[in-house]
Structure 1
Amino acid sequence: MSNFRHPDFSQSRFAAAPDARFEPAPASGVLPEGFFSTTNLPTYVRVGGAWKLPREPRMDSAIVLDPDGVPRVLEGRYVQAGQPIVVGLAEDGSGGIYVHAAGFWGEAEAGPEGEFKFMSSEVSREKPTDYHAMARMLVEERARGGHVIWVVGPAVLHSRGRDTLAWFIEQGYVNVLFGGNAVAVHDVESATMGTTLGMNGRGVPVEGGHAFHMRAINRVRAAGGIREAVAAGVVTRGIMHTLVTQGVPYILAGSIRDDGPLPDT
């Protein structure tokens, strides 16, 4: 097992850094717009002139300040109105937040791509698919007034298939859509941030992108749900927007570990 190295906070860049900024949660389950989204790397927060490691660390969450002055990682859905939330985007310590990417001996400094190593595989091509046969079935089902149920996963977003699926919805080839929470989350992320899981249309990670899906979730929660976000103009395109505007029902299922369930899940 690798040895963990804490940062040397005696360095001038850390000693001269300001305390982290905190803003109150505007409502229960809703984070301030500029909240800091945690990663899978050790993260320190400067509070009262001292660098502190938050309690209960986990990724894709926020950092709150408990009454005893110790920061704690907390999922956005559990945040209570008025709780002080760490805000800021810089991870280099300049804003009172430091993400320690090289804490283990022999571990190189991580760049933006390090946040997405678990997404580095290509879309599976294990089984051949007869798309011509599928297309014929869809056309026949629509012609005879059948009921077509689509069951999709987030791969449709990561493989850049959202515009195509939106077209199928508009053309009446989708009568109901079943999907996981991640389908809606990354579709809304694409609609609001221009990325899916922090990657642009070429599949390249963007700086700070690891937090984009959490920011998308927060905007939907602030609106009250997906339909409300569409009505308010927060979500203006994509799969969920098309489902809502076309009046096509959908069911979103959550998982045990969902770090950011939408109100619709």
Structure 2
Amino acid sequence: MAFQIPTYHGPDFTQQKFKEAPDVKIAVADMDGVAPDYYHSTSMYPEYFKVDGKWLLAEESRMDSSVVLREDGRLDVVENRNIRKGDKVILGRTENCEEGIYLHATGFQEPGKEADQFVFRTGRSRETAFSKDYDQLYELLKYEREHGKVVWVMGPAFSFDYDARRSMQALVESGFVQGLMAGNALATHDLEGGLLRTALGQDIYTQESRPQGHYNHLDVINLVRRSGSIPQFIQDHNIKDGIMYSLVQKNVPFVLTGSIRDDGPLPEVIASAYEGQSRMRDMVRDATTVICLATQLHTIATGNMTPSFRVVDGVVRPLYIYCIDTSEFVTNKLADRGSLSAISMLTNAQDFIVNVAKGVGALK
């Protein structure tokens, strides 16, 4: 059965509470980077604001940001650090029409359908059956390849395993990847695999340590920095496989953000935390599916900047977030941060990527 996007059921604005609600209050920011007192902070759900008697949806929402009313009437969701003096910032702390603000958390539920009050195994754990999740993900990815944008958020585990690395390359080359976000380590060890067939000095297939192998990733970083960029390194050293190779060959954008513990780092790695955050948000701004794999901090960061919905050609649709990890702490942490729409799968991320590549037909 072909994948179908769930229908969004918007608020019924004919209800009395919407009609009687006041317009939102607005205050003008008096300095850069500071929101006015009593600013409204956004969530991951669709939020509507009554402006001049009309209810407007803030289309590009994210958690913990403010809403700025632009001169053209557009509602712009902005991190407080990016507020500028003179911005018209919406005020209000209630979300059920009392202050002209309405949070709509049930838009993708069928009207009148309620969940059972007592059911077993509603949580996600190592004992959960994920067969249906895989099948649904295969169909979703096939749909998104034609109609959406899939962003992958990856830890370095995929560069350490021959099959995982090959599977991700196949997904990129088959059109299932429209963006990738990672840290210095994924790119470094993937390029190490392309040049030396090792990751952190171990053979990516046999896992046997090479003599002086602990120098391998440092040597690769040095060579990439000498080349000046990852694409130039790939050309200079005739790299013919790997995740970064496939991204460069297919012109798929990637964002690499650094951390204090990084070696090097590679030239493309963003050193500023806030520049990295902005670049990541730019990448997920129009994403329709986000898949986070074996990277706790990148996963939580991405979840915080990603809403539960997306507006495409005027139609509200779900934004799917997958969290893949062997640790229940990581998947629970994402939910604890408010990313309640995330679909978690407790499994080895390397096995996951191989299954997905085979399931969508990218890996023969």
Which entry has the higher C-alpha Rg, 1 or 2? 2
Which structure shows the bigger proportion of residues in strand conformation?
A: 2
